Structure formats: C-alpha cells, structure tokens
Amino acid sequence: MAFYSPDPAMAQILADLVRALELEGRPGLAQHISITWLRYDQPLLGRAADLDPAQFWAQPVQGASWAGDRPRYPASVVKLVYLVAAEAWRQADLLADTPELRRALSDMIRDSSNDATSLVVDLLSGTTSGPALPPERMAHWLEQRQLVNRWLSELGWPELHGCNACQKTWGDGPYGRERDFYGSELENRNRLSTDAVARLLQAVLAAALVSPPACARMTALLARSLDPALRLADPENQVDGFIGEGLPLGSRLWSKAGWMSQARHDAAYVELPAEGSMPKAAPFLLVIFSEGQACAQDPKLLAEIASRLAAASRN
C-alpha cells in the first residue's frame, strides 16, 4: 500500500503548476523537477506517538506527485537519511550518544555542514576517508559503507526502490577511496526520490519510525525560523531561495534543503498561520527536487511553487 492516497485534484494542481512555470519562462522544467505534496486534516507532529506505527501507516494521507518516484541526486537532502539512521543506530545501541555526535548531527542539519556529515557517515558505517585501498581491504570497506542502504532496505518501503544513500557530501568533491567508490562514471552517487524523502520526513515528524523522544530531537533540529532579522543574519539559512521563502510570515517550518551547482532541492513540513476570514489552511508536506544548472541558479523557483501550493492548501 502506498503511504499516501493519490488525490486527483491535487495531481491536477501540480500538473497545471508545472505547465504554468514552463510558460512563465522555465522551458523544459517538467523533465527536471520532481514534487511530492501531501496535505493533512490536522497537524502532523507526533500524530503517531500514541499509535502503533502500523496503524499510522494504514491511514494514508491525501497526496500527489509529479515524477515523485524518480530517483535523482539529492545533494544535502541526503543528510536527513543520515540523521534518521543515527537515531536508529542509537536506539539499537549501535552508536554511543556522545556530545560530539550531537554536535555533528546539529551542524549537519541546521548548518548543512559537510564536515559534520563526514563524521556522521564514518560513525554509521565504521569507515573513514583516505587514499585508495588494495582490493581486499576495499571490498571490506565497500561492504561497511552499505550499512545505511541495508537498513533502508529492511524498512520494506516501496518508495525506496532505486534509492542509494552511502556517499558523503562534498565541497570540492571526493578523493582517494571515496572517488573510487563513486565509480568511473559516478554511477554510485547518492539517489533519492521525492516520494522516499516525503515518507521519511513524515515518519520523523509523526514519530512513526524510531522512538518519540528520538523523533522529537530530530524535529527540533529541522525547525527553521522565518524571522526576517534572523534570516538576514544567516545568509545560509535554508529558507531564502527555498520553500520557506514562499511562505507567509507566521508559518511554522521544518525542513532540510540541498543546493549545489546542478541542483536546488528542499523537503519541508509547513503549518500556515490563520489569515482573517480565509479558510483554515491544511498543514502540508512538500518535497521538491530540481535538477540542472538553470534550476540550481533560480532562487525563486522553489519559493514560487511553495507559495502557490500554500494558497491551494486554503481551498
């Protein structure tokens, strides 16, 4: 069973939106973007905390997607996977809960630090970066670096088919054994779909995957402020240029963005503020992956999508 119930009206809204964005000056966008959009009849946070997770997943929410099942390079959105894996490892007593781990997880999500992510991946997999390894040692290293992927496969989620989460994130790129691990044609790059990310983010916020205290820790790290002064003081706030920029002030936002030369992505859960006599807005979860140089250099794309879908959530 899909984790959301397809809503034809929402699907039509997405299709019309993608076509409109193309006509408004983004030709070819339909081939370079994936969107998963879910709407809730009540706030999502902690909804599953008092339920058996099977009961929660048996009640799919309304949703729609545009190319939502297509795996794409996720950039820093993959850090959400590593955050959840770290909490799963901690819950299973496979990872010590230390101040340094907490600092790394915080910096990985709040600041999108690649250095912090490198440590987290090392701790999850028992591997380290470095020069190329001889074949026998490299084979063992490769097996260890698949631990997160094996955990994902054990979840049994169909949305994870074709996904890959085993690489670190980089500024200048991988070197040594890390470069060898990517493959000669970069065929082993990370891959995620917006459907997969949407399900994972929903599971975190609803406390439907690991323990409620663990999900509460992750939710706290994902919280973003829309306060203009705070955003001005932090140019890398993961709000401006992403979904949060398209939301009205007073909205509540939990998100993880990703941005590099060929991608601009965001995964967010939103609770909109009340606005006068307008209908109460439905909380929604929105994951957008946009690929290619044109999308990466378009700071208004994700905000425009979020703004229009936020308006649709009031209908």
CA quadruple 233, 239, 245, 248: dihedral sign? negative
Lowest mean pLDDT among 44-48, 133-137, 187-191, 221-225: 44-48
Q: Rounded to whole angstroms, how far apart are CA atoms 143 and 125?
A: 9
Structural tokens at position 311: 């308006």
Place of tokens 């936002």: 253
Q: For residue range 86-138, list pLDDT tens digits in order.
A: 999 999 999 999 999 999 999 999 999 999 999 999 999 999 999 999 999 99
pTM above 0.85, yes or no: yes
Mean pLDDT of the residues in the chain: 95
Q: For residue range 192-238, list pLDDT tens digits in order.
A: 999 999 999 999 999 999 999 999 999 999 999 999 999 999 999 99
- 35: which strand partners? 66, 288
Counting every residue, how long is the chain? 315
Sheet with 61-66, strands from edge to edge, namely 4-6, 61-66, 33-39, 284-291, 263-271, 252-260, 223-224
